[in-house]
Amino acid sequence: MKANDCSGLPAMERCDAELPDSPQCAPNYHFGMLLGVDDFRAEQGFHVGKMRRHQRLLHGSGVVSGYEVDYKVADQELRVGTGFALDALGRDLVLEVPQCVSLPLWWLAHRGDEAFDDIATPDDATLDLDVVACYGCCLGNPVPAIAEPCAGSAADIAYSRICETVLLRLVRTPAAPPAAAPPGDEDDELASCLTLARLRGVRLKLEPDGWKVTLGTLDLGVRQVLLATSLLQQLLLGDPAPLSALAGPVVLPDGASLAGQAVTLVFSQPLAPLSVASAFKAAEFDPALGWKPFTPAPPVYDGSDAARPKVTLALDRAPAGKLVRVTVAGTGNAPLLGASFVPAGAITPTGDGRDLSTTIFRS
């Protein structure tokens, strides 16, 4: 399978490149310092290495987004979509263009490999394969360079860019790379690669009219996945806790009603009666004048039904607008308290309360 082509450079030039990775030391610049190639590589390696170490140790490895894998039966072709991932060494795996491979052509090119020596009939083989993404580098942007003495014409061109790329491979499943490898493990070139999918029960059979490939299952569950920080924040902080999980009292979703000049609020738990008196404010919205506050009489608390205790506010006038807003104080010096003295809207027994606003629409 092909990945980012790095400007179509030959294989030798594509492989002859490596970004420095040395996060421990940075150049100590001083006035009059003579700078050489090693100094610039140390500067580059310090920042590259710190970023990779951060990603490896704090985030781990896995697919962050994309990298869809599917099999086109009609074309007998495996396709990998664009995506972003981190490998086991904390390096970026960015695939910018979808890639595909013909399984019959791939098998013709690789069935003589050592990994398939145990297959007795290469013209009718059944095996499991892993799709893996591996980190790679290549050289780009050739520029004139100063030739070394006696180097001839071969040394007067150098490449001024190192480009990161992704190498997609199909490997036999028993030889699939481990989930994580320690930094510096160079014995296995697949050690830091990332498994994207597993093809189970791939049968490649040569028939009179050509190769026929059948696939048992395509399993994406073997891939490691990394959740973006923004998604984690949404999952953890996006939605408020359910009412049943709150420690402090709140107005039930169906617990606000208006009858004439009386507003009734039904709460999720019994209240501390002496905290009710100063915890309520009310206003109505007049399209011509804006918000107009009410001056309600002292609230009346009814805790006879422990499952649905209620507070009634007698307003000083009948509302004229369509919108009435009642606010219950859960903050400040005089919040509404539950019977256990936890302020209104508090998520935990020892947490701060929250002001609770309820809107009543008049028909």
Mind listing the domains of the chain with CATH numbers? 6-26+33-234 (no CATH), 243-361 (2.60.40.1220)
Burial class (CB in 10 A: 0-12, 13-18, 19+), 78: buried
In this prediction, residue 140 carries a pLDDT of 82
pLDDT digits (tens, 9 = 90+) for 117-133: 999 899 999 999 999 99
CB 65 within 8 A of CB 227: no
pLDDT at 243: 58
Reduce the DSSP state of residue 279 to 3 states and report it.
coil
State the DSSP code for 245: G
**Three-state helix/strand/coil letters over 325-336:** EEEECCCCCCCC
Nearest to 80 by CA among 64, 96, 99: 99
Per residue in 98-117, pLDDT tens? 999 999 999 999 999 998 99
pLDDT of residue 15: 56
According to DSSP, residue 112 is labeled T
The rounded distance, in Å, linking the Cα atoms of 58 and 226 is: 11
Low-confidence spans in the chain with pLDDT less than 50:
2-5, 7, 9-13, 176-187
pTM above 0.85, yes or no: no
The three-class DSSP label of residue 83 is: strand
Q: Which residue has the tokens 């360079």?
A: 145
Model pLDDT, residue 2: 47
CA 310 and chain centroid, separation: 44
